[in-house]
């Protein structure tokens, strides 16, 4: 498999997953809103607009929020010369504006990129990453992060968050109304109405879990795509593969690790045992490091 094949395959898979996700959200929204006595898709559409406005406001300031939560501080060029040169050179190579550069004072090797678009992007790395990786490995990591910026992954994940929010909101409204006895069937066929209500109850309980699993699947797929795109930028997949080996084998846990920002980092900052359990992998924000390394070395 060539690097170009990997990039194309990951893009196709992301589009497919997003299509399934949107179809799933529309189906659940229709079922729950009809059970609530609403107008099906009209009610779901209103929820979608409301969630969109709320998420857009959060998304607009997402970079500032993420940097603050991670304890990132603006890096000084005199102190982190290699870091600056690497980011600047790879930005030129990828045709992107040079993002703002931040450092997190933490011994755990990790890095992330954020920002609503390439003009408002930022790249942050821990001091542990800058100390433990050589120049080639650092290039692999930064190329990966710049690929997230180039592919508008922050924007994509904001759209996914909107869809998850719609499902969670409808589920919550339905279950609250059912608990307080505010739902009554309008269908004259009692048997059919009972079956529909049972379907709605199961949908309300399971849909937020399924939506979250799809959200995590999209996040993992974007990591594979950023790996392939990063390798395409440096023309040297082994650099990122070696970096991932060092990062994954390091036992330090980030002091500023946060569940809200964990999906942004190049590797899970909580250093879990996801790689050893397929079920736990479903709830992971990142693909297993071993799989990523194997794919990179097959390019």
* Interior angle at CA 126, CA 135 and CA 299, nearest 5: 45
Separation CA 185–CA 194 (nearest Å): 8
Q: Residue 127: CB partners within 8 Å, gap ≥ 6?
A: 103, 104, 105, 106, 107
| β-bridge partners, 77 | none
Output DSSP code: residue 97: P
CA gap 142, 218 in Å, rounded: 21
Tell me whether residue 85 is one of the annotated catalytic residues: no
Residue 60 CB contacts under 8 Å (≥ 6 apart), including other chains: 116
- CA torsion angle 159 161 166 167 (round to 10): 120
Helices (H), 70-152: 81-94, 127-132, 135-150
Active-site entry in 79, 88, 139, 145: 145
Residues forming the active site: 145
């Amino acid at each position: 498999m060539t690097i170009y094949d990997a990039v194309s395959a990951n893009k196709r898979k992301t589009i497919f997953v997003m299509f399934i996700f949107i179809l799933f959200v529309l189906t659940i929204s229709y079922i729950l809103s009809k059970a609530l006595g609403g107008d099906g898709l009209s009610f779901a559409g209103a929820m979608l607009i409301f969630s969109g406005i709320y998420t857009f406001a959060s998304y607009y300031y997402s970079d500032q929020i993420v940097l603050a939560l991670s304890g990132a501080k603006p890096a000084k060029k005199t102190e982190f010369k290699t870091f600056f040169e690497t980011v600047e050179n790879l930005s030129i190579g990828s045709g992107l504006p040079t993002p703002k550069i931040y450092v997190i004072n933490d011994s755990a090797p990790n890095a992330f990129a954020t920002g609503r678009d390439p003009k408002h992007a930022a790249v942050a790395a821990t001091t542990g990453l800058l100390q433990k990786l050589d120049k080639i490995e650092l290039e692999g990591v930064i190329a990966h992060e710049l690929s997230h910026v180039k592919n508008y992954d922050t924007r994509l994940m904001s759209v996914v968050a909107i869809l998850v929010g719609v499902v969670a909101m409808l589920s919550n409204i339905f279950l609250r109304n059912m608990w307080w006895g505010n739902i009554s069937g309008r269908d004259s066929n009692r048997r059919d109405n009972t079956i529909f209500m049972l379907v709605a109850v199961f949908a309300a309980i399971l849909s937020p879990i399924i939506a979250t699993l799809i959200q995590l699947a999209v996040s993992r797929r974007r990591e594979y795509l950023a790996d392939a795109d990063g390798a395409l930028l440096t023309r040297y997949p082994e650099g990122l593969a070696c970096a991932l080996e060092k990062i994954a084998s390091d036992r330090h846990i980030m002091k500023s690790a946060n569940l809200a920002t964990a999906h942004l980092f190049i590797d899970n900052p909580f250093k879990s045992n996801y790689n050893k359990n397929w079920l736990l992998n479903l709830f992971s924000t990142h693909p297993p490091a071993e799989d990523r390394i194997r794919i990179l070395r097959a390019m």
